[in-house]
Chain A
Amino acid sequence: MSDLTELGVAAIRDGVAKGDFTAVEVAEAFNANVAAAQPALNAFIVATPEKAVEAARMVDADRAAGKALGKMAGVPIGMKDLFATRGVQTTAASHILEGFTPEYESTVSQKLWDAGAGMLGKLNLDQFAMGSSNETSHFGNVVSPWRRNDGGNAPLAPGGSSGGSSAAVSARLCPAATGTDTGGSIRQPAAFTGIAGIKPTYGRCSRWGIVAFASSLDQAGSMARDVRDCAIMLEAMAGFDPKDSTSLDLPVPAWEAGLSADLKGRKVGIPREYRLDGMDGEVAASWEAGIAWLKDAGAEVVDISLPHTKYALPTYYIIAPAEASSNLARYDGVRYGLRDLPEGAGLQDMYAATRAAGFGAEVKRRILIGTYVLSAGFYDAYYTQAQKVRTLISRDFKDAFASVDVILAPTAPSAAFALGEKSADPLEMYLNDVFSVPASLAGLPAMSVPAGLNSQGLPLGLQLIGRPFDEQGVLDAGLAIEQRAGFAAKPEQWW
């Protein structure tokens, strides 16, 4: 093998199993790429090369001993720094949790280690997963490995909040990475960097040990270079967890084994409300291409209506901050993390100083919005109303899925934008989530797959949204697009 870091999850797993190379060789190859990309890409907050090698050694030893190998055996991965990892700093890219080292391991990461994966390090993200460009991280923004073909070399956003994950996977720093998706945080960065990423049905993956942003929306998922790799990794991550009351008590299907790009007899819905006025022409064109590919795969394509789509974004930006304002109350300087105790300060002063220093501007903004919409006198007008609209949005999907099996839409309204381009205007930044937020509000499985490059040489993604629990339908349609799009582009290494 010339370059092990060109391999994906399935190829590494199979190669290790067959003895084409050792897991330690794989881990060391990726460790080298991780080290070489720091600090240029800034994708990792902490690298853990020794963890990757240690896990790999165990896999090699198990193989030598003839033991059965796990679903992810020998695959080193990046772990979004929102997952608690025992003995390894877990920050949510915030100052308030800087230096926090948990004594516990999140359910999802533990499942991955149990399946034979190893950890290359903790990936950068938007602070507390709040952002669409990775610019809200306390540890500096991730820089996308992609550049426009205009020769300007403007640093681009890798998307957010799972921007460390997307950058690392597309730059071959890891074959796959965990992500979390609250309003699009797996799909939009996947689209921006030309990789695949799936957010499963709400409840598929345990939230236990994931730093909470918005509990009713947060969902972990997998990010990798193709659909099969996403399926393999998601199988290892998913499953009922009695420690999470909202966890789905359902068996995990064999998604990889069930993959089929033959869509004969399936119906694909094209939601007319997603055709926005002034839509980016290249995004619209890639959507048309996606429709053609799915037809080619045997699917019947029909127009559908999701009438409450236009209310999804405001609904999301009420519910998510409301939950966040409460979820983040625990970061108070009393028990762990940052404590700023000015001379002679009382409890209230300590709270104020700690939070002022510990939370970034975007996090503060969302706490303020959330506190406002829950406050007496505004609760009904905002929170109650938003919950009603959320129900209507779910109903839209339910009605649509009465006649179609999967929905096709763009993942994001544009290709990756430049760092700093939207950070001055939060509303413009929030608009980036316009296509991803409805599926989050309805708790539906959704994924982004690469569809091609735009005229600037930047990746565009297509989004597939499925029925509750039908990750298989989403993966199958994603695979059909993947096979026809023939996306083989990768960022040219400049770091």
Chain B
Amino acid sequence: MALDAKIPQGEMDKKWNDYKGHVKLVNPANKRKIEVIVVGTGLAGASAAASLGEMGYKVKAFCFQDSPRRAHSIAAQGGINAAKNYQNDGDSVFRLFYDTVKGGDYRAREANVHRLAEVSTSIIDQCVAQGVPFAREYGGLLSNRSFGGTQVQRTFYAAGQTGQQLLLGAYSALERQVALGNVKMYARHEMLDIVKIEDKARGIIARDLISGKTERHFGHAVLLCTGGYGNVFYLSTNAMGSNVTAAWKAHKKGAFFGNPCFTQIHPTCIPVSGDHQSKLTLMSESLRNDGRIWVPKQKGDNRNPKDIPENERDYYLERRYPAFGNLVPRDVASRAAKERCDEGYGVGTTKMAVYLDYKDAIMRYGKIEAGKHGLNNADDKTIFDLGKKVVEEKYGNLFEMYAKITGENPYEIPMRIYPAVHYTMGGLWVDYELQTTVSGLYALGEANFSDHGANRLGASALMQGLADGYFVIPYTLGNYLADEIRTNSISTDHPAFLEAEKEVNNRLNLLLNINGKQTVESFHKRLGKIMWDKCGMARSESGLKEAIDQIQQLKKEFWSDVKIPGAIDEFNTELDKAGRVADFIELGELMCKDALNRNESCGGHFREESQTEEGEAKRDDDNYSYVAAWENKGDSNWELHKEALSFEIVKPSQRSYK
């Protein structure tokens, strides 16, 4: 099967407008007869379900949480980019497009990224109209901040809770459609399979997580808005329930998986404290705007950081990358921290951490404040107290969170940080219309692979989720549904539905009847360790081959020795988790195979064999300028398809931050 990305003809900045001008429409009377299933209610899912409901489609929305408002988009901290140029600092749609393609290390599809940059401005308008309380200046206009190494201020934010406020906006729009009867909401439901009839997605099998009963739901089209799969690493900044199951079921039913190995490992997270750890917590990237990152110059230095004098500290980012210093992109900062810790310079009890120090920033701000107050001879203590207040205003909630988790006061003692899995750029392969390789099956937001290439820039995930849901799918879905107006609702007693439901129940029974000795959690932890060690921040041919063997072994062990208590027809969180971990194990194998295939370093994917003499990532455009789209061919068997990437506008060059 040849991949057709369906990129419209014409100049880059006219493609989307031309597409919208010629796309097929569905008339209002027909919309009322068409049913759409939306799985997941984060930014992409809630915005899509609400918008489609407003347009007149009959929508069914599903989430596994107890309310659509809990989806993990809620945890995003920093902000959302938009090319508004409100700061008059030279921003434009073109610059946002350019920065995103370059930031993605030239592995994203230009046409999709350009559209994303175009609709970014409408997102801010829409959210403000919904009552999203973005930060404002004293004049009453919206405030912006800089983010992730770009040269303009284009990030809109609501303190450190931007994701929460955007999600609550989309959630309120969704609940309004529920009240109007246009959307039917199924909370505490998990999608366990796609139903295909005559090669088109026609519905899903879902399981009511309270009663444990499976249900059959018909839809003329199915939208997967189910987020990323960072939890394949066990420890990540994702929510505990975040999983790959919906995307994986789609993959097994014919949807190709794009660039599965592209994982974002975020440099500033609170480090692991012990074996008990269940998840990791992100400290916003904005902290690198003011904080300085260092380790002791002496290996295994156990002194209190306050007792280590200036000349015995190694500010390694400033040393290695004088031009960008502490503000290098996420992938570069993460690898540099790993390098120092691997060499034995790490700090803290586990020695797998580096310091993020605010002392200089506090003193710097303190001196400015002292100057403002005319305190020319202020002592250090006064300056520190004044500076602390400024830092508190800017980053107070983050410092508080750090103190709660670690029990340490970050104003006095430098924070300990270490990289952690945060986001997956890979996902279901989609064309320009966000349709997967299965007709009628779409993927939106983090669940698709499309816009971030091999590395995502800060404040772009929220932008993409809402772009897909509010402004892309309402047009592109119509192009498909216009040809479906003659399709009557298909009875869920159709053999395809019954067969799919039977398979789902068989699998649940199979899992429950293994009756082994090891818990689901223990398997998940072991998978995570393999993935982190061999398919994490640095990957090598030998390591990946070992990982593939180990994962295949783990899979056998799982299916013969997992222990799941309880029954099927009841609220059984262990059974829910077992299904998800089983899918993660299969995904882990594919990720390693994808990483093995891509013998180049790009963005977050660092192959040890492909680096410069100074140890920097080396891309190989001649051989790897493509999207790897994997087709499932049965047990542990995949076929690679390639979508060649052509760069008409942004010419690839080696990224340098020195």
Are chains A and B native binding partners rather than an unrelated pairing? no
